[in-house]
Every structure is written in structure tokens, then in C-alpha cells.
Structure 1
Amino acid sequence: MSTDASHDERDAMVRAALAEHGDSGLTPRHTLFYFYGDDHGLGDLNEVARRAGFFTRGDEESLVLEMTMAVDEASFTSVSSMMQSWAAAFQVDYDGWECAVVTN
């Protein structure tokens, strides 16, 4: 499975911003993933994400997936790949993620 280099770069930029604040990403924290698209694709994604353990919220044009998790590179790479795969499978746009800074 190949990943979108721009998402890999964006993931690294978020982790770099966390590191600037003394956050290694190892401590689990509330993390949000943003998707945009049509009601059909988002509805299908919503069902799959809920079954995978994510909390979800959204409307006809957007969906936010939420989970408490570590965001260090080793923990996060497979999740980032999964988000990109879901976006492709359900023909929606994956816009990225965000989380709180947690100092360790």
C-alpha cells in the first residue's frame, strides 16, 4: 500500500510542531481526523470507522473521526495509511489530523 507523500510530510510537520513544545507523541491523547465529500461516501466511511472503534461526528459534507491514541511516528504511521486508504476507498477527501500538545 503506497501512501501520499504530502500526507507523510504533513504528519511529520505536526509531529515537529509537537516536539517544539516538548511533546514526543508517545502519550495517548484525543486525536481528530478530517474528511470531506458527499453524503454517500461519508456515510459508508462513518460505518466502517465506528466499527473500527472511532467516535464519529459530521454532516452531509464532512466527517470527523476521533480516537485517543499516541501520535509518535511508530504508532501513527499505520493509522495515517489507513486514513488515506479509507479516503480512496470511499472516494472522499482526507484533509489531515490534529491533536492536543501533551508534555511528557
Structure 2
Amino acid sequence: MVRASLMAHGDSGVTPRHTLFYFHGDGDHDDLNEVARRAGFVTSGQDDATVLETTIPVDEASFAPVSAMMQSWAAAFQLDYDGWECAVVTN
């Protein structure tokens, strides 16, 4: 859905941009934060919410491995992966 919105605004997703990933639930946020920091993400949040931040391209080919990683982290730490967002960047 995010990618479709980007395309509707003329954004192919290939330009790296600030991107946020959201996790919620009663799982292990501390371990998620540790693993994400080691992978180069900035982490924030409190209690039952974690936000991961990075700067990456979001075109389908570049983003697919990141999306898979987010889903695997959610499963590993028993959290709900609630999606991602980024700014529109047009060239």
C-alpha cells in the first residue's frame, strides 16, 4: 500500500530516504532493539511499542529483503510488525 502511494506521486522508491518500521505487542522489545542496533537501525519507543529508523531505498527489489527481515524479527521476538512509512521523494 505504501509503495502504491509512492508510485501515485511519481516516486519509484530508488532514492534512499528516511524510513520507519513499527512493532507493537507484549514480546521482547529489548532484544529487538539490540538486534536492530547491531544491524544499523536507530531504535526508539517505550513499553509495548518500538520504532526502527534507517535511510534506505524502498523500491521493490531493494526493499524485499528488509521487509522479510522485519517479519522474521517480529516472529522471533513475538511482536506484531505494524508496517512502515517513508517520505515521498521525486526525482
TM-score range, shorter chain: over 0.9
| Residues in 2 aligned to 1:50 and 1:99: alpha-carbon distance in whole angstroms | 19
Q: Percent identity?
A: 75
Runs of 4+ in 1 over 2 A off after TM superposition: none
Please, which runs of 5 or more residues in structure 2 have no aligned partner?
none
Flag the structure with higher strand content.
2
1:96 is matched with 83
1:32 aligned to 2:20?
yes
Q: How does 1:49-68 map to 2 (within 5 A)?
A: 49-68=36-55
| Residues in 1 aligned to 2:88 and 2:14: alpha-carbon distance in whole angstroms | 11
Q: Determine helix, strand or coil for the equivalent of 2:43.
A: strand
Flag the structure with higher helix content.
1
How big is the alpha-carbon RMSD for the aligned residues of Structure 1 and Structure 2?
Answer: 0.8
| Residues in 1 aligned to 2:33 and 2:87: alpha-carbon distance in whole angstroms | 23
Q: CA deviation at 1:73?
A: 0.1
